[in-house]
Structure 1
């Protein structure tokens, strides 16, 4: 699919990342392209304001303006004029919302973390709409690219130069990306408390019913399972909210369906209001898990 996959804003003089989109394309080509983008960001002063580098089925585009540069990874089939229009709009958004003096003073990466949301919105608009509102910009960018085509950068040369700048040859070590979650919200804490309460209620009812079932009525084993499965699901929902896990959407969906079906199965042992309460808590927890964004950790470039 032809689209923008990743975008970031960096400081031109040293390549310090200021903000980036949170994208989790874990295929090897994309991860390799991310590493090469990082190498390229450290030596942007050696290139003109606009440039493009090809990496298999992906392309890296960059647009420098003043102290900052906007960089993006796109599929190779994504039109270059659209990519540079996207970067131009991103640069304008950053310049209007972030103080230029602060850019020069920051020493830690991702100091403008809140700008991630803007990157995602602009990227989504360019990926999933016809961008009719950017028609004028497209014509302007197209004319600028015709008069001054972007520099064609060889990523291998960029990596060699980056190694020379750092005083050593560049060594690439394949590492899996690490992630951290955004801070928990008040509603998120509420969902955790309600989940723990629902889990405890399910466990207590399940244990009591198990004692009776094993002694008197073995046909009630299904009810025991219908209590204990939501108990496990509640605490797994707490875990998914607190910690990053791959395939979160699928896991949350399975857990929500488990809680819902088990509570519906228990109709008779629970009244309709109790069932709706447990399903509502699972729904709230699911929403909090999926709305809590993940931020990709990056190496600290000398920050304390």
Structure 2
């Protein structure tokens, strides 16, 4: 019997299955374990990044980061390091194939069923590869597990079962694993400096306008907001460039729209060159955010 029997990719916030391997066993014990996996998937947002659920017949392992989690049903003979190495590799393959916007907008189960081909290939690799081929990779994962051990859940425990039925699950406070972004480039630093300068200009003009308005009319209130909203949008752009965020593309588009609309509204208080400068900086920052990706891989798991 292979060590990795079943794998699935789910959305963390609601447990929606996005893709899964289509070949699995039809024994009652295995089907019961799959039902437990579905229950666990609904509560992933309340668990740390890695965890294992033990049952009498099989083990369930899960690894989640951001809005995507990978889960697997493994035999008891499968080492935890191999299971999490497989799940980490699966996570990177899936997030490289589909962006956060597509994942967030998915509305039906198994919306990315075609990813099953990659799951099958990776399952075969881990089930048939020699231990010597993955020795260094497994050693790295083993070190991570020793430093940050996964949460151990018992799906057969009566208290846990009652918690599932009543909608109450113990919440673990262990932080989610951090994303590592590609190094900051010189052009990226320039975009940050220009963005901070634009944010400062918007804040100064907005506060100055508010302080010198003895009686704020509707038009003056609109001008104040047209300064302050782009100020906030510039700060959000800086955050999006420096740190990974789910649905990043959607947020970038929204911030760009806010900045452009705010500057168009301020036509008259700003000349054409000032407006073009602010919009140009916003476009440069948006481009830098979208081109700065996650690092290729956290560890080489032999795939």
DSSP-derived class of the 2:104 partner? helix
Q: C-alpha displacement at 1:165, in angstroms?
A: 3.2
- Larger radius of gyration between Structure 1 and Structure 2: 1
Q: C-alpha displacement at 1:126, in angstroms?
A: 0.4
Q: C-alpha displacement at 1:4, in angstroms?
A: 0.5
**Is 1:126 the equivalent of 2:126?**
yes
Q: Is the 8 A contact 1:63 1:69 kept in 2?
A: yes
What aligned pairs does 1:141-152 form with structure 2 within 5 A after superposition? 141-152=141-152
RMSD: 1.7
Q: C-alpha displacement at 1:119, in angstroms?
A: 0.4
**Selected match of 2:162 from 160, 163, 170:** 160
Give the TM-score normalised by the residue count of structure 2: 0.52
Q: Is the 8 A contact 1:10 1:41 kept in 2?
A: yes
Give the TM-score normalised by the residue count of structure 1: 0.52
Q: Is the 8 A contact 1:39 1:159 kept in 2?
A: no
Q: Which residue pairs with 2:40 in the alignment?
A: 40
Q: Which residue pairs with 1:73 in the alignment?
A: 73
Q: Is the 8 A contact 1:74 1:83 kept in 2?
A: yes
Question: Which whole-Å CA distance do the structure 2 matches of 1:139 and 1:34 have between them?
Answer: 29
What aligned pairs does 1:6-155 form with structure 2 within 5 A after superposition? 6-130=6-130, 134-155=134-155
What aligned pairs does 1:233-252 form with structure 2 within 5 A after superposition? none
Unaligned residue ranges in structure 2 (runs of 5+) = 169-303
DSSP-derived class of the 1:52 partner? strand
Q: C-alpha displacement at 1:158, in angstroms?
A: 4.7
Q: Is the 8 A contact 1:15 1:44 kept in 2?
A: yes
Q: Is the 8 A contact 2:55 2:154 kept in 1?
A: no
Question: Which whole-Å CA distance do the structure 2 matches of 1:131 and 1:87 have between them?
Answer: 17
Unaligned residue ranges in structure 1 (runs of 5+) = 167-304
DSSP-derived class of the 1:60 partner? strand
Question: Which whole-Å CA distance do the structure 1 matches of 2:102 and 2:161 have between them?
Answer: 29
Specify whether residues 39 and 159 from structure 1 end up closer, same or farther in structure 2 by C-alpha distance, changes over 3 A only. farther
Specify whether residues 158 and 99 from structure 1 end up closer, same or farther in structure 2 by C-alpha distance, changes over 3 A only. farther
Q: Which residue pairs with 1:297 in the alignment?
A: none
Q: C-alpha displacement at 1:162, in angstroms?
A: 3.3
Q: Is the 8 A contact 1:62 1:71 kept in 2?
A: yes
Q: C-alpha displacement at 1:47, in angstroms?
A: 1.1
Q: C-alpha displacement at 1:85, in angstroms?
A: 0.4
Q: C-alpha displacement at 1:99, in angstroms?
A: 1.3
Question: Which whole-Å CA distance do the structure 1 matches of 2:11 and 2:160 have between them?
Answer: 17
Specify whether residues 44 and 159 from structure 1 end up closer, same or farther in structure 2 by C-alpha distance, changes over 3 A only. farther
Q: C-alpha displacement at 1:134, in angstroms?
A: 4.0
